[in-house]
């Protein structure tokens, strides 16, 4: 009926392609919103009719269970589920950050080794990459966990170093530093030392650019970094002491414990992710045209200068985007720790807490939100780095 009244020259609401496109997009959006709302509503109706408690008030309830690794003070008797959430979050961040550092170092070395002209080194790197990249990460985590537990002795037969560092199947035990009054001065000295080094690097670079003179920057920096805080430490009257782990009864008491679950998980994640990073590094370096290196060589530049000033700056542009993905993967893979009982977010929060509280939807939503946030943050950060690295059109 209405169709007949519409003019055919394409100026009507539905006959104009532009208007029609907008109409259908709005329609599709409305449909999506409607369905989301419909399902959410349905879900809450059903939850309510089944008498399941909803809402986030459970976060204030006392948790009442023990956790094997907590980075914040945690008491089994009084801490709440919110504390459990934070403990899990921090444990996830800890293993992810450490994993990213180790994976990057191993990956970079492997990637360079893969391109080595030495037959043995390049083939060994190849075998390493092909082996660890092609075994599922969950199996590797279980493997390393069993290796760690099987290889290490019980607490009474620990490997000991200087009676202050111990290694056994309960973990790696280190002396715990205790900061007394006055230790702030040491920290200030440390920060000042770093600031001084940064200034020194800038100064020496400028001097090099101006006069061409070299400055032993690494040696001097190290000296400043070590000497300044040490000096202040003794002047302030040795304010930092340590508690050493001691064998009492079944286990060691005191000191810092790095639990075997963390060691195994870190090992597995670093080794696995490093293989992908290595391939990204290799691809990046190979993407730099040969002519660049040859041109640099013919200018008489040193090999070291060619690598740092010519090859790497161009290779990094290719390397960074895939490596970002690997960092994200590593963070997400850390949730597989639930298989070996490392107390990260998924194990603690959407595992133990979910079972004690029973509010699956709230808890899973919170957990998903965390991974989404972490992933987006990492990706924003590295996109920023990438933008800084990108070729600037002149």
Partner 1 sequence: MKVTKLALLLGLTAAVPTLSHAGTLEDVIKEDVLKCGVSTGIPGFSAADSNGEWKGLDVDFCKSVASAVLGDASKVKYFPLTAKERFTALQSGEVDVLARATTWTATRDASLGLNFAGVNYYDGQGFLVSKSLGVNSAKELDGATFCIQAGTTTELNLTDYFKANGMEYKAVTYDTSGQTIDGFKKGRCDAVTSDRSQLAGLRIKLDDPTSAILLPETISKEPLGPVVRQGDDAWFNVIRWTMFATIEAEELGVSSSNVDEMLKSSANPGIKRLLGSSGKTGEDLGLKNDWAYQIVKQVGNYAESYDLNVGKDSPIQIERSLNKLWNDGGIMYPMPIR
Give contact residues for partner 1 (rule: CB under 8 A).
1-3, 14, 27, 34-35, 38, 42, 45-47, 49-53, 64-68, 76-77, 146, 149-150, 154, 169-170, 248-251, 253, 259-261, 338-339, 341, 343, 347, 351-352, 354-358, 360
CA distance 368 to 347: 13
Residue closer to partner 1 by CB (options 25, 42) is 42
Residue closer to partner 1 by CB (options 152, 193) is 152
Dihedral, CA of residue 377, residue 382, residue 387 and residue 391, to nearest 10: -170
Are the C-beta atoms of 91 and 68 separated by less than 8 Å?
A: no
Are the C-beta atoms of 218 and 275 separated by less than 8 Å?
A: no
Residue closer to partner 1 by CB (options 76, 303) is 76
Its sign, for the CA torsion 119, 120, 122, 126, is positive
C-alpha dist (Å) from residue 175 to 150, 230, 232, 240: 24, 19, 22, 12
Residue closer to partner 1 by CB (options 201, 357) is 357
Shortest Cβ 194–partner 1 spacing (Å): 37
Which residue's structure tokens are 């040491």? 186
C-alpha dist (Å) from residue 282 to 122, 309, 323: 11, 17, 12
Shortest Cβ 180–partner 1 spacing (Å): 25
Residue closer to partner 1 by CB (options 237, 358) is 358
Burial pattern 249-267, b for ≥16 Cβ within 10 A else e, equals eebbeebebebbbbbbbbb
What is residue 331's three-state secondary structure? helix
Shortest Cβ 351–partner 1 spacing (Å): 5
Shortest Cβ 364–partner 1 spacing (Å): 9
Tokens for 50, please give them.
Answer: 């089944």
Shortest Cβ 149–partner 1 spacing (Å): 4
CA distance 379 to 324: 7
Residue closer to partner 1 by CB (options 26, 369) is 26
Residue closer to partner 1 by CB (options 49, 134) is 49
Give the CA count within 13 Å in the CB-facing half-sphere of 96. Answer: 23
Shortest Cβ 284–partner 1 spacing (Å): 40
C-alpha angle 360-139-128 in degrees, rounded to nearest 5: 135
Give the other-Cβ count within 10 Å of 281's Cβ. 28
Shortest Cβ 359–partner 1 spacing (Å): 8
Residue closer to partner 1 by CB (options 44, 384) is 44
Shortest Cβ 66–partner 1 spacing (Å): 4
């Amino acid at each position: 009926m209405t169709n007949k009244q519409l003019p055919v020259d394409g100026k009507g609401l539905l006959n104009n392609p532009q208007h029609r496109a907008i109409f259908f997009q709005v329609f599709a959006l409305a449909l999506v919103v409607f369905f989301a709302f419909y399902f959410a509503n349905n879900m809450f109706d059903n939850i309510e009719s089944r008498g399941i408690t909803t809402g986030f008030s459970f976060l204030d309830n006392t948790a009442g269970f023990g956790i094997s690794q907590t980075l914040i003070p945690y008491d089994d008797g009084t801490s709440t589920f919110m504390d459990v959430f934070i403990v899990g979050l921090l444990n996830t961040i800890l293993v992810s950050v450490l994993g990213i550092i180790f994976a990057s170092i191993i990956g970079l070395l492997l990637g360079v080794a893969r391109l080595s002209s030495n037959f043995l080194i390049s083939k060994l790197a190849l075998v390493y990459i092909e082996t660890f990249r092609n075994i599922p990460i969950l199996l590797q985590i279980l493997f390393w966990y069993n290796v760690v537990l099987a290889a290490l002795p019980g607490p009474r037969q620990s490997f000991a170093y200087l009676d202050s560092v111990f290694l056994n199947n309960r973990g790696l035990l280190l002396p715990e530093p205790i900061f007394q009054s006055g230790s702030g001065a040491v920290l200030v000295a440390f920060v000042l030392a770093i600031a001084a080094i940064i200034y020194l690097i800038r100064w020496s670079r400028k001097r090099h650019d101006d006069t061409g003179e070299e400055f032993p920057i690494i040696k001097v920096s190290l000296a400043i970094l070590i000497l300044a805080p040490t000096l202040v430490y003794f002047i302030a009257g040795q304010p930092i002491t340590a508690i050493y782990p001691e064998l009492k009864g079944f286990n060691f008491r005191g000191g810092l414990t790095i639990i075997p679950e963390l060691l195994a998980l870190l090992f597995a994640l670093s080794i696995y992710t490093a293989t992908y990073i290595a391939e990204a590094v290799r691809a990046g370096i190979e993407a730099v045209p040969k002519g660049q290196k040859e041109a640099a060589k013919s200018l008489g530049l040193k090999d070291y200068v060619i690598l740092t000033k010519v090859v790497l700056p161009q290779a990094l542009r290719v390397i960074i985007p895939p490596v970002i993905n690997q960092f994200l993967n590593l963070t997400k893979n850390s949730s597989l720790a639930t298989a070996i009982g490392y107390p990260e977010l998924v194990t603690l929060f959407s595992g133990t807490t979910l079972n004690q509280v029973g509010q699956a939807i709230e808890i899973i939503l919170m957990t998903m939100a965390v991974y989404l946030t972490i992933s987006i943050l990492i990706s924003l950060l590295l996109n920023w780095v990438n933008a800084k690295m990108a070729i600037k059109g002149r």
